Amino acid sequence: MDNKDRRKFIKLGLYSSAGLLVGSFYAFSKREISPELKKYEDLLKFDWGFIVDTTRCIGCGACVRACKIENEVPDTYFRTWVERYEINNKEAVRVDSPNGAIESFKKNNYTDDIVKAFFVPKLCNHCYKSACTQVCPVGATFHSPDGVVLIDKEHCVGCGYCVQACPYACRYINHEKGTADKCTLCYHRISKGELPACVNACPRNARVFGNLKDPKSQIRKILHQRRYGLLKPDLGTNPKCYYIGLDLEVK
Amino acid sequence: MDPSHGFLFPNELHITWTVMIVLYPYITGMVAGAFIVSSFYHVFGMEKLKPIARFALVSSFAFLLFATVPLLNHLGRPERAINILLTPNFNSAMSGFGFIYMFYMIIVFLEIWFSYRVDLIERYEKSRGIVKFIYNIIILGNTNDNENTRKYDKKIIVFLGGLGIPVACVLHGYVGFLFGSIKANLWWSTPLMFIIFIFSAIVSGLAVLIFLYLFIHWRRKKVINQESIDLMSKWLWGFMIIAVTLELMEILSISYERTEKWAILSKLINHELKISYVYLQIGLFSIVPFLMLTVTSLFQSLNNNLRNSLIWLSSGLLLLQVLFMRWNVVIGGQLVSKSMRGFTDYFPGYFDKEGLLVSFLIIITPFILLRLFDKIFPFFGKKELVE
């Protein structure tokens, strides 16, 4: 092989690998999903639900950070947070959630022996019979057809009655906007087929999000296999956030 | 420093309903109470209350005009307040608020108009120029005043007063219901709440009328109508007994049942609200006026000056009692964490948007307005001057 042929070969190789590289950018890059609205009938095929596996959570706070960034949640308020429960050898219980566990947990509450400890992530339960939508005087908060409790921020008057009515303290008044605010299950993401930011960020798959109307969905499978609990079931709100390994101490 | 102690859900660090929401039921309480007192004369014809009936009606109106001010100051988006009338969600206990409030406002306004019609015509005829023109608009150009029109006016007043009593009870009982129906809040959630609110409203209405009546008459050195003051003070005594007993019965039953919530509510009463509830609301502002009113109601031999001083003092204390009751309900309920594991803390601040200075201004304005009303339409006749 003379020099010319070699040069030709290298050129061809370079061009073709460059072509492959550029082509693969196109092939693997995500297309912008067209922002066309889903029809009402299509939305009715979904009933979004949530599972929190308290046995898997390690309290790293990645979900809280992800939520804060994704949803521009104001300081000292939280759409999701993580609680830590520690029980010592005297059976005393300490619970904390420093700044919603956005920076995880730094040190133990007890200096003596801790016999049991676990983390419980919390978020809006998107209850079937939500107290917050019941009490909103202007109808600014509502159930979307696909089962998410949302707030119309163009309509909310900021009276705070929903904040009082939520038994789980999932709502707050966003003082910059003057309206109520809370977890939307990242509605802007899930309507594009993506996962909520907290689910995406969880390194332990402690958060599962899915369609409760789909019998083949992962969420339904887990609910069929595992034992779970609900928060404050006696209040009749019928939450849609299912807690696996829920301890009696968690309220 | 973290002001809270125990465990709070992170969103509970700051309370949502501030001292503004304390003032709202306080002011509407006086509205409803004063109106009911005026109706005792207008509807039930208790002649002993005649000297105070008009004053009661106009006081009710003056407070009513300012009742929504604290609410608007508290709303995150006050410019959207009209939404409550435009798109009411009738599943919500709060949605009827705008309608009831407006309905009540119309009733009170009409009742005042009818009860002042004769005076207005008199003033129209005496006045000149632009003032005459204004009076002409107010009386709607109708100068008819004779036996028949007076009879008709009275009929209307009786009708409006009669209609107003249940509406006043609804207006205020409803505020109690707003709190009592919140199942998420351990301190609020009780069906007794709206009954307690109605009785405390009557207490504050009676108390504010007695307080102002005696104050004005002393200042202007006028003769006090002892009969009506005695009657009102006895009612005040009775209604405060009912209001305080109901509230204590509520706590007694929670504590006796010893359900889960008593563990945290007992701490609320014994620590967080120890001063404002136990010492002030129940101790100083309930038991002390109760004892004083017991003396003035049972011992007829007491001289009038001493009796009136005691009545005046206890009505003032009871006004504070009701204010503290509103505070202990509205703020107290929010101090308890929904996790049932801790408490948050609250101080309104002195010069904040929803602070103490603004609260003071909101409370004081209806009284200033009353003074202005009195300048235009004197509540009490001039002939009663002490010689």
Confidence tier at B1 by pLDDT (50, 70, 90): very low
pLDDT at A21: 75
- Would the pLDDT of A32 be above 90? no
Q: How large is the average pLDDT for residues B102-107?
A: 93
Q: For residue B338, which of B15, B1, B3, B2 has the smallest C-alpha distance?
A: B15
Question: Who wins on pLDDT, B315 or A15?
Answer: B315
Q: How large is the average pLDDT for residues B292-302?
A: 92
Does residue B381 belong to any structural domain of this protein? no
Does residue B355 belong to any structural domain of this protein? yes
| B22: phi then psi, degrees, rounded to nearest 5 | -75, -40
pLDDT at B61: 92
Tokens of B311: 């009545």
Does residue B385 belong to any structural domain of this protein? no
- Would the pLDDT of A169 be above 80? yes
Q: Do B80 and A156 touch (CB under 8 A)?
A: yes
Q: Which of A68, A71, A164 best tests the B interface by mutation, with the highest count of B CBs <10 A?
A: A164
Reported as a single tens digit per residue, the pLDDT across B106-139 is 999 999 999 889 888 988 999 888 989 998 998 8
pLDDT at B385: 46
- ipTM for the predicted complex comes to 0.91
Confidence tier at A187 by pLDDT (50, 70, 90): very high
pLDDT at A1: 56
**A81-113: b or e for each residue (b if 16 or more CB lie within 10 Å)?**
bbbbbbbbeeeeebbbbbebbbebbeeebbeee
Helix H or strand E segment including A181? strand A179-181
Q: How large is the average pLDDT for residues A5-27?
A: 78
Q: How large is the average pLDDT for residues A216-236?
A: 96
> Which chain A residues are closer than 8 Å to B344 by Cβ?
none
Amino acid at B250: E
Does residue B281 belong to any structural domain of this protein? yes
Q: Do A157 and B88 touch (CB under 8 A)?
A: no
Q: For residue B37, which of B51, B48, B53 has the smallest C-alpha distance?
A: B53
- Would the pLDDT of A117 be above 70? yes
DSSP string, B11-44: GGSS-SS-HHHHHHHHHHHHHHHHHHHHHHHHTT
- The gap between the terminal CA atoms of chain B, to the nearest Å, is 63
Range of the domain at B372: 5-376
A73 to chain B: closest CA residue: B11
Does residue B191 belong to any structural domain of this protein? yes
Are B276 and B345 contacting, i.e. CB atoms less than 8 angstroms apart?
no
- Would the pLDDT of A28 be above 90? no
- Mean pLDDT, chain A, rounded, equals 91
Our CA-based measurement puts residue B381 at a distance from the nearest CA of chain A, in whole angstroms, of 44
Does residue B382 belong to any structural domain of this protein? no
Confidence tier at B21 by pLDDT (50, 70, 90): very high
> Which chain A residues are closer than 8 Å to B14 by Cβ?
76
Residues in A 95-114 with any Cβ partner in B closer than 8 A: 95-97, 99-100
Q: Which of A103-117, A122-136, B97-111 has the lowest mean pLDDT?
A: A103-117
> Which chain B residues are closer than 8 Å to A140 by Cβ?
83
* Cβ-Cβ contacts under 8 Å for B15 (sequence gap 6 or more): B331, B334, B335, B344, B346
Q: How large is the average pLDDT for residues B162-189?
A: 92
Q: How large is the average pLDDT for residues A86-110?
A: 89
Q: How large is the average pLDDT for residues A205-209?
A: 97
Option in A96, A138, A168 nearest B84 (CB) = A138
Q: Which of A159, A161, A172 best tests the B interface by mutation, with the highest count of B CBs <10 A?
A: A159
Our CA-based measurement puts residue A90 at a distance from the nearest CA of chain B, in whole angstroms, of 18
pLDDT at A31: 54
pLDDT at B190: 93
Our CA-based measurement puts residue B334 at a distance from the nearest CA of chain A, in whole angstroms, of 8
Are B7 and B176 contacting, i.e. CB atoms less than 8 angstroms apart?
no
Residues in A 38-97 with any Cβ partner in B closer than 8 A: 76-78, 81, 83, 94-97
Does residue B71 belong to any structural domain of this protein? yes
- Rounded Cα gap, residues B81 and A156, in angstroms: 9
DSSP 8-class letter at A32: P
- Rounded Cα gap, residues B108 and B115, in angstroms: 11
Amino acid at B23: L
- Rounded Cα gap, residues B60 and B63, in angstroms: 5
pLDDT at B228: 92
Does residue B31 belong to any structural domain of this protein? yes
Other Cβ atoms closer than 10 A to A240: 22
Q: Which of B2, B4, B9, B185 best tests the A interface by mutation, with the highest count of A CBs <10 A?
A: B9
Confidence tier at A5 by pLDDT (50, 70, 90): confident
A141 to chain B: closest CA residue: B89
Reported as a single tens digit per residue, the pLDDT across B47-82 is 888 889 889 999 999 999 999 999 999 999 999 999
- Mean pLDDT, chain B, rounded, equals 92
CATH of the domain at B348: 1.20.1630.10
Q: How large is the average pLDDT for residues A4-27?
A: 78
In three state form, how does the secondary structure of B111-164 look? HHHHHHHHHHHHHHHHCCHHHHHHHHHHCCCCCCCCHHHHHHHHHHHHHHHHHH
pLDDT at B163: 93
Q: How large is the average pLDDT for residues B287-303?
A: 93
Are B173 and B180 contacting, i.e. CB atoms less than 8 angstroms apart?
no
Reported as a single tens digit per residue, the pLDDT across B254-265 is 999 999 999 999
Our CA-based measurement puts residue A194 at a distance from the nearest CA of chain B, in whole angstroms, of 27
Paired residues of A141 in beta bridges: A151
- Rounded Cα gap, residues A81 and A61, in angstroms: 8
- Would the pLDDT of A15 be above 90? no
Into how many domains does chain B fold? 1
pLDDT at A26: 64
- Would the pLDDT of B296 be above 60? yes
Q: How large is the average pLDDT for residues B2-29?
A: 89
What are the residue ranges of helices labelled H in A30-79? 40-43, 62-71
Q: Do B80 and A160 touch (CB under 8 A)?
A: no
Paired residues of B285 in beta bridges: none
| A105: phi then psi, degrees, rounded to nearest 5 | -115, 130
Q: Do A77 and B10 touch (CB under 8 A)?
A: yes
